[in-house]
Amino acid sequence: MTKIKIQEEISNLVELLNKYSYQYYVENNPEISDTQYDLLYKKLENLENNYPDYILKNSPTQRVGDKVLSEFLKVEHKTPMLSLSNTFSIDDLIEFDNRIKRLLNTTEDIEYVCELKIDGLAVSLTYENGELISGATRGDGVIGEDITENLKTIISIPKQLTEQVNIEVRGEVYMPKKSFYLINEQRSKNNEQLFANPRNAAAGSIRQLDSKITASRKLSAFIYTIANNSKENSQINSLNKIKELGLPVNNHFKLCKNIEEVTNYIKYWENSKQDLSYDIDGIVIKVNNKNFQEQLGFTQKSPKWATSYKFAEEEVATKIIDIELSVGRTGVVTPVANLEPIKISGSTISKASLHNKDIIDELDIHIGDTVVVKKAGEIIPQVIKVIPELRNTNSTKYSFPKHCPSCDSILISNEDNPFIRCTNASCPEQNIKKIIYFASRDAMNIDGLGDKVIIQLFSNNIINNVIDLYNLDKEKLLDLERMGEKSVNNLLNSIEKSKKTELDKVIYSLGILNIGKKASIILAKKYKSLTKFLEANYEELIELDDIGDISAKAIIDYLKVQENINLINSLISIGINPTYKESILKENIFSNKTVVLTGKLTELTRNEAKKYLETFNAKITNSVTKNTDYLICGEKAGSKLKKAQNLNIPILFENQFIDIIKGDNNE
């Protein structure tokens, strides 16, 4: 056989096996038997062993996984991976449709695309010139983990697209039911702990440091959106484009002409979901028209033009063993039922929310009651009803305590509010949770100050409030368990660094009721400093965009409390009083230029680099072309660096970029 014939045969086998894999893993409609597939696979394997120079990148034999990592590198998403808002009833869905129409100022029916909500793990895939170069988990939506090597082992994810395009797509990695049953059968034989459900199994499998383990788990994936510069004018066209590129798309999507068709689609899949070869936990509904999507925009957490309809979860009966009370950072005391352990949707449940005193009274809860528990979109499942026929005749109704379980202060109730509060500013549990909130990533972002460390410091009387963090004694820290010289120095440096936190994050860290990240930015723009924020009044606040009556009252109520005023003044006195500055358009070498970032930046994040470049009105793109003015390179720069060199595009390495920033800041 000639070399050309061998190449042709290898190429034909690769194309054929990839087609059969797609039919099997994506369409669930195999054209050939497993035995026939295995014979073709073996034939390809033998040819590749004899002629290794002819092995193709997209060959199914190259997915076995041969990389063992020491850790996963952090990846900053170029476009945040947002979550979806949830609806749990048809009424919720109709309200979603009405809200869309109000925002678009129309009475016409809106077209929606409905897609199955795969119960898996969200991922992002980046292709350059049609070749898969990186993949990451969703993480917190801004920072994910680099799982490229593991994603390459998934047969349904092509390493090479049908077109040489630069594209980022998002999708869901999942474990088919068949793979789940097989892996649990094997784990049972090996006396290993079984996976609770396919979603947990998929999440654990995709985060293996050894890609061979991931390859053995037989994961699959569906892609549902293009994340960057999509030219398609509708979601339907986007899905069709994704399919044209050879990416796996779930074929059960449907274009619905109105919300009634959406509800019919939902009802069909509520009754048919068990027939699928994978788990779904709901339906995703998206406005089809991309122009409408742009008009509707986003909230801080999710697109306004999409929502997910969550299927009702299982309802299971069990007994209440006891009721414990949890005190939140705002003083709200929440009752939680301790249950005889039960399984719901594959998870073992031993606690369930009772929400507040009114719910306990309404349900007529007794200790020892047999109750029905449901897990419907709640992190902690909820008790939804009591079965009085199974009640012990000697039991007595649960009586809500009159004193705080943390500080023994008298609890306060309000006729207009179902929540009972502890108003003691020195309540230990409140203060611990306030400090945890203050130090969190979205607030002051104090590295190394996790929940356990805060509880340890509080329990040892080293801190009582957030201000104490800025007066920590190094020697006292070194005396604590698991606190070595390096970790103590890192913690102290991180606390000191937090003094330079931006104003909106400082306002957010105060933990004011109903004031989230978006509202904090609006307040920072308005008041410019904490000093001015102390002078806020209701009339000003109510005039601000997105600060409604409830939020305005919450801010005024917060600023009436002397302890809160003392906290803000203390922050100011230790140097935490940043001034909000509007972005001023500057001039330098990046002004109005097209810039590409590549590789891993070590001295600053991608977002920081972008923010700096945007002050000069620079256009930041993902692909190197002849129109690119500068390429900024971090570590491990790949194909973009080579392309820039070939096109003679000016290249700045990170140290040179940092020098420009420093020079600009010194002007």
Q: Which residues carry out catalysis?
A: 117
Alpha-carbon span 71 to 66, nearest angstrom? 15
Alpha-carbon span 81 to 301, nearest angstrom? 9
Distance of CA 572 to the CA centre of its chain: 33
- List C-alpha distances in Å: 654 to 439, 625, 634: 30, 20, 5
Which runs of E-coded beta strand occur in 229-346? 254-256, 280-287, 306-310, 315-327, 332-344
Under 8 Å between Cβ of 625 and 617? no
Residues with Cβ within 8 Å of 341's Cβ and at least 6 positions away in sequence, in order, are 318, 348, 349, 350
Q: Which residue, among 371, 324, 296, 353, has the nearest Cα to 102 in the 3D structure?
A: 296
Q: Residue 377 — φ and ψ, nearest 5°?
A: 75, 5
User: To which residue do tokens 């047999």 refer?
Assistant: 370
User: To which residue do tokens 């971090």 refer?
Assistant: 634
Q: Residue type at 431?
A: N
Do the strands 254-256 and 280-287 form a parallel or antiparallel pair, or are they unpaired?
A: unpaired
Q: Which two tokens stand for residue 322?
A: 């006891």
Q: Residue type at 258?
A: N
Q: Exposed (0-12), middle (13-18) or buried (19+): which is 539, by Cβ within 10 Å?
A: exposed
DSSP structure class, residue 647: T
Per residue in 590-619, is it b (16+ CB within 10 Å) or e — as a string? beebbbbbbbbbeebebeebbebbeebebe
Alpha-carbon span 131 to 94, nearest angstrom? 42
User: To which residue do tokens 């002849």 refer?
Assistant: 626
Residues with Cβ within 8 Å of 540's Cβ and at least 6 positions away in sequence, in order, are 526
Q: Residue 315 — φ and ψ, nearest 5°?
A: -115, 125
